[in-house]
A and B are shown apart, each in its own frame.
Chain A
Amino acid sequence: MPDRGYLGEFELMLLLAVTHLGDEAYGVPISRELERQRRRDVSVGSVYAALERLEAKGLVVSSLGDPTPERGGKAKRYFRITQQGLRQIHETRRVLTRMWQTIPEAKLDMQLES
């Protein structure tokens, strides 16, 4: 049985991005997706470091594609989410949703105004 550790914010975003991109999930689209959603610059090196952490946990797997001329003959590294990664996403969402539901709307609005 794997450890049931919850995902960090950046890791959760990465997993969601990989899931969203499907077969086209490699470094550039993943970074762009994150930049688009977060509306700020992302370090590609940090993206790779986090993806490797997720890979070590067994939440994603990677495979090298064919080299292309526009990349200087360098291959793309495609990432794919595993069943365990999907379970982890659902578990994190379930916990977050439950916690959100315990907080009244009015209280949140009051905090924002202050």
Chain B
Amino acid sequence: MKRLEPPPLAMWMLEHLSSGDRDEALAGDLLEVFRSGRRDSWYWRQVCGACAVSWFNSLRSRIPLFFFALAWSMLAPAWTTIIDRIEATSRLYVLIRQLEWPFSGLSEFLTWVGLNVVLLWGGILIYFLFQLSQTRALSRTTVRGAFLKAAAYFLPVYFVTFVLANLFDYPGLDIDRRTLTALRELTDLRLWADFLRAPYLITLICALWKTVPRSRRNSQLAEASPDESGVDETPALVNLDQFTLTRFFSLMAGVGLANAMIVGFLLCRLPETRPSDIASLFITAASYVLLGTIGGVAGSWIYWKSPYSPFREFTPLPFPLFALVCAAGWVWVTPMVLLAEQVSPATAVAAMIGAFVITTGLRYETYPIFASASSGSKAIQGREGDLFAESTYHAPFEPHGYVIAVGIYAAGAALYTHSNYAASMWLGLSAAMFAWKKTIPRSQNSTIRQAYRRATIRLAIVVLPAIAFTAWAMLDGIAHRDRIAAERVAAEALHSEVKTAAPPKTSDFGTSGYESLILWPFPPKKELIAPVPLANPLLLPGTKQPLILRFDGTYEYVQPPDKHPGMTAHRSRGTPLHVDIESNNNFPVIMDAHQNLAGPIPTDRCSEIEVVIENGDNRPGLVSLGLLLADGLPGHERTAYLGQQSIASTEPGHFYMKTSPVTESVRFAVPVRSKLSRFSEITVLVLSDTEHMFVAPKIAIREFRLMPR
């Protein structure tokens, strides 16, 4: 007698313990054979074999996933160290801890979970980008599911790991986490670091388990085109005009560039201390370059896939290829940002290289697309031309040559005036235009695989120079910052030593340049009114006449971060009208004029202060004056800032070239009620725009007119 049903437990195993792809067909086949007269033992053997083969294949297809999860989870101890630092120093945590219980605890806990999930999501994002680069289709549900699973699985897995770690070595592994650094933790292979890695490894594998493509997809592809078995590497091309294509690729490359710059500005900072060795310097530089590139790729991907994108469905170029091509240019964004923060002319060089590399790559890979887009219109032109054959040669009109030349000249002018961003833009534009016009691929019939290979090689060639450039930018920035800090410390130390002694009238420091400068006006030919006589009748009640104070103070020129000239400042006699003072480095020049009064003046007796100046500056650009009053009391000095007023002749539309200095005045109202009851020091801050950032304006203070109230 034939049995109709196989062992139930074996059927359950076959249903639940084997890969889902072939459950139905395999189960049906086994059942069919079993009903034809096979024994239970045969069925059991088949089920066990099917499960074993199924799991073997399933695990083998996920080997890349295991390696990726292992590599990414190596970052976990370093990330934990970063989280510790954020918890210790971030203002966000200070605010959270000020909340009442249980909100403070809950918020802190959620923030901690969120920071951990960020690392997981970063890994998942990179894994998906890698899969896309392998031209594997990913559904939105799969992607969303992986991100949600990572967020959901992490906490339970972390809790279990925590419990197991404590069971293994109660009350926990003895580690002083305050002494750890993120870079060292990357290679930390101690037990506690491995315990930290475990939950990330398990969570990543679980979250990405279902994202590995299954073989059923192959069969569906094969059904669509059985003869070629679904192997079609040609990207979907659509009939597009050149303008649309140019606009599209420019927008995508520009969006990526902007996002890479944003990431650079937000995340890529000079290290607090000089890197201990060359390896850590290069690791930091490489991570900065990677961050910038990821920012660029993510930004362009968002726009590429946006509902308004004309190529969301039918893209002229696979996005992974586009990202690979542009990444070769986006790797230069981070050094550009670092150099821009130092006001370095090398910013423009980085911009030029990046623009050239991006444009060359895009031109190379999109050449057939543009050629096919233009072939239609050229065919029409050719048919029309047949009617009227040309008899004379017309030289081709090439306006791009003029644009490139103008761009180079404009970049030179911008560099001369220290406008590095403008120079970067012009040089980048020129380089991009040159590359677009001069790049012609050797072979126009290459496959998509060859295009990927070319883009990868291009990226591999430029990434190391970009990292080296970034490292150099970091070293340069750190050295400059350290030098400024050391000079400031030295100046303050010197100042504290000679505080009791009389200050030197002159200084012999420096021969070709000075860190700061004090300019004394020439001795007056007439008797000065200042210092103010204490019993000045003009400030007595009932006085209507202004009190005029001839300026005989100092002009001070410093560079940030300094606010006052140090003891090594160069001292000289002269007036700003007749001396040229400009920065000989990448830091701007700050100018102010300082007047001490012999005695204090009550603020309630003065309604307005008019600053009379002599303006001999012939450099266009707005210059404003700010007025600061101080009571000069040592130890607890009080100040009052009266705001800033622009100088009329420097305003747009009023500027003109002056053959001799012109006299102008700027008025500042003195508030009746102020925390400053009297003042004995007047400081005029000369506030200039970018045109005067590196060159001090030729503006001298003639006098102050104090209007009685």
For B45, the closest partner residue in chain A by CB is A43
Interface residues of B in 49-108 (CB under 8 A from A): 49-54, 57
- What CA separation (Å) do A22 and B71 show in the bound complex? 47
Give Cα A72 to B35, complex, Å. 10
A105 in the interface (beta carbon within 8 A): no
What are the residues of chain A within 8 A of B24 when measuring CB–CB? 64, 74-75, 77
How does the 8 Å CB contact mask read for A62-91 relative to B, with 1 for contact and 0 for none? 111001101110111100101110000000
Residue B25 contacts which of A49, A75, A82, A83 (CB distance < 8 angstroms)?
Answer: A75
The answer to whether A27 and B230 have CB atoms under 8 Å apart is no
- Does the CB pair B50–A43 fall under 8 Å? yes
The 8 Å CB contact of B53, one of A43, A70, A84, is: A43
Q: Which residues of A contact B215 (CB under 8 A)?
A: 52, 55-56
Could you say which of B28, B230, B231 contacts A75, with CB atoms under 8 Å apart? B28
- Shortest C-beta distance, B27 to chain A (Å), equals 5
B121 nearest CB across to chain A (Å): 30
Q: Are B32 and A71 in contact (CB under 8 A)?
A: yes
In the assembled complex, the CB of B11 is this many whole angstroms from the nearest CB of chain A, namely 9
Given contacts A43-B50, A44-B26, A75-B25, A28 and B226 within 8 Å (CB-CB): no
Q: How far is the CB of A45 from chain B (nearest CB, A)?
A: 3
Chain A residues with CB under 8 A of B26: 27, 44-45, 48
Q: Is A59 an interface residue (CB 8 A)?
A: yes
- Chain B residues, Cβ within 8 Å of A46: 49, 53
Q: Which residue of B lies closest to A71 (CB)?
A: B28
Chain A residues whose C-beta falls within 8 Å of the C-beta of B31 in the assembled complex = 71-72, 74
Instruction: Give the distance to chain A from B35, nearest Cβ to Cβ, in Å.
Output: 6
A12: interface (CB < 8 Å): no
Residues of chain A within 8 A (CB-CB) of B237 are none
Asked whether A55 lies within 8 Å of B218 as measured between CB atoms, the reply is yes
B142 contacts chain A at the CB level, 8 A cutoff? no
CB-CB nearest in chain B for A27? B29
Question: Which of B25, B32, B33, B222 is A77 in contact with, Cβ under 8 Å?
Answer: B25
A2: interface (CB < 8 Å): yes
In the complex, the answer to whether B230 meets A58 with C-beta atoms within 8 Å is yes
Task: State whether A72 touches B28 (Cβ < 8 A).
Answer: yes
Chain A nearest Cβ from B57, distance in angstroms: 6
B644, CB-defined interface residue at 8 Å: no
Contacting residues, chain A, for B375 (C-beta < 8 A) = none
Contacts of A64 in B (CB 8 A): 24-25
Q: Which residues of A contact B51 (CB under 8 A)?
A: 45
Given A43-B49, A52-B57, check contact A58 B35 (CB 8 Å).
Answer: no
The answer to whether A28 touches B32, judged by C-beta atoms less than 8 angstroms apart, is yes
- Give bound CA distance, A67 to B32, whole Å: 12
Could you say which of B52, B219, B231 contacts A61, with CB atoms under 8 Å apart?
A: B219
Instruction: Give the most central of A2, A72, A75, A76: most B CB within 10 Å.
Output: A72
For A52, list chain B residues within 8 Å (CB). 21-22, 57, 215
CB pair A82–B29 under 8 Å, yes or no, is no
Q: Say whether B40 faces chain A, with CB atoms less than 8 Å apart.
A: no
Q: Which residues of A contact B25 (CB under 8 A)?
A: 26-27, 48, 64, 74-77
B22 / chain A contacts, CB cutoff of 8 Å? 48, 52, 77
Is B586 part of the binding interface, using a Cβ–Cβ cutoff of 8 Å?
no
B28 engages A58 (CB within 8 Å): no
Contacting residues, chain A, for B27 (C-beta < 8 A): 72, 74
Taken together as a complex, chains A and B put the C-alpha atoms of A48 and B25 apart, in Å, by: 9
Task: Kindly provide the distance from the CB of B495 to the nearest chain A CB, expressed in whole angstroms.
Answer: 77
Asked whether B54 lies within 8 Å of A49 as measured between CB atoms, the reply is yes
B229: Cβ under 8 A from any A Cβ? yes
Cβ–Cβ < 8 Å partners of B231 in chain A: 2, 58
Instruction: Indicate whether B227 reaches chain A with its CB closer than 8 angstroms.
Output: yes
Report the count of interface residues on A (CB-CB < 8 A): 33
Q: Indicate if B223 sits at the interface (CB-CB under 8 A).
A: yes
Q: Does B346 lie at the interface of the complex (its beta carbon under 8 Å from any beta carbon of A)?
A: no
CB distance from B451 to the nearest CB of A (A): 16
Q: Which residues of the other chain, A, contact B49 by a CB distance below 8 angstroms?
A: 43-46
Residue of B nearest to A59 (CB): B229
- Once the chains are docked, how many angstroms separate the CA of A71 from the CA of B30? 8
A104 to B134, alpha carbons, bound, how many Å? 48
CB of B242 closer than 8 Å to a CB of A: no
B46 at the interface (CB under 8 A from A): yes
Contact residues in B for A82 (Cβ distance below 8 Å)? 222, 226-227, 229
Q: Please, which residue of chain B has its CB at the minimum distance from the CB of A29? A: B29
In the complex, what residues of A have CB within 8 A of residue B30's CB? 44
Query: What is the distance, in angstroms, from B445's C-beta to the closest C-beta of chain A?
Result: 14
Q: A1-39 toward B: CB 8 Å interface, digit per residue (1/0)? A: 010000000000000000000000011100100000000
B598 to chain A, nearest CB (A): 95
CB distance from B63 to the nearest CB of A (A): 15
Q: Are A44 and B46 in contact (CB under 8 A)?
A: yes
Asked whether A56 lies within 8 Å of B218 as measured between CB atoms, the reply is yes
Contact for A55 among B46, B54, B222, CB less than 8 A: B222
In the complex formed, the residue of B with least CB distance to A83 is B227
Closest Cβ of chain A to B465, distance in Å, is 35
Partner of B57, one of A49, A55, A62: A49
The answer to whether B32 touches A45, judged by C-beta atoms less than 8 angstroms apart, is: no
Residues of A within 8 A of B226 (CB): 61, 80, 82-83
Contacts of B50 in A (CB 8 A): 43-45, 48
The interface residues of chain B lying within 8 Å CB-to-CB of A61 are 219, 222-223, 226, 229
Nearest-neighbour CB distance to chain A for B137, whole angstroms, equals 15
Chain B: which residue is nearest A67 at the CB level?
B28
Bound complex: CA A94 to CA B676 (Å): 103
Chain A residues within an 8 Å CB radius of B35: 70
Please, which residues of chain B bring their CB within 8 A of the CB of A84? 227-229
What's the nearest-Cβ distance from chain A to residue B4, in Å? 9
Residues in chain A near residue B230, CB distance under 8 A: 58
Q: In the complex, what residues of A have CB within 8 A of residue B18's CB?
A: 45
Residues of B near A28 (CB, < 8 A) are 29, 32-33
Q: Which residue of A lies closest to B27 (CB)?
A: A74
A31 vs B36: C-alpha distance when bound (angstroms): 14
Kindly provide the distance from the CB of A27 to the nearest chain B CB, expressed in whole angstroms.
4
Chain A residues contacting B219 (CB-CB under 8 Å) are: 55, 61-63
Residue-by-residue, is B563-595 near A (CB-CB < 8 Å gives 1, otherwise 0)? Answer: 000000000000000000000000000000000
Q: Return B45 CB to nearest CB of chain A, in Å.
A: 8
Q: How far is the CA of A47 from the CA of B367 in the complex (A)?
A: 47
Report B-chain residues with C-beta under 8 Å of the C-beta of A62: 219, 222
Of A55, A56, A61, the most chain B CB neighbours within 10 A belong to: A61
B155 CB, min distance to chain A CBs, angstroms: 37
- Contacts A45-B50, A82-B226, A84-B228 supplied; 16 other A-B pairs, CB < 8 Å: A27-B26, A43-B46, A43-B49, A43-B53, A44-B29, A45-B46, A45-B49, A48-B25, A55-B215, A58-B231, A61-B223, A72-B27, A76-B29, A77-B25, A82-B222, A82-B229
Taking beta carbons and an 8 Å cutoff, which residues of B are in contact with A?
18, 21-22, 24-33, 35, 45-46, 49-54, 57, 215, 218-219, 222-223, 226-231
- What are 19 inter-chain pairs, A to B, with CB distance below 8 A? A43-B46, A45-B18, A48-B22, A55-B219, A58-B222, A58-B229, A61-B229, A62-B219, A64-B24, A70-B32, A70-B35, A72-B28, A72-B31, A74-B24, A74-B28, A75-B24, A75-B25, A82-B227, A84-B227
| Nearest 8 CB-CB pairings of A with B | A74-B28, A58-B229, A45-B50, A77-B25, A27-B29, A61-B222, A71-B28, A43-B49
A residues apposed to B, CB below 8 Å: 2, 26-28, 31, 43-46, 48-49, 52, 55-56, 58-59, 61-64, 67-68, 70-72, 74-77, 80, 82-84
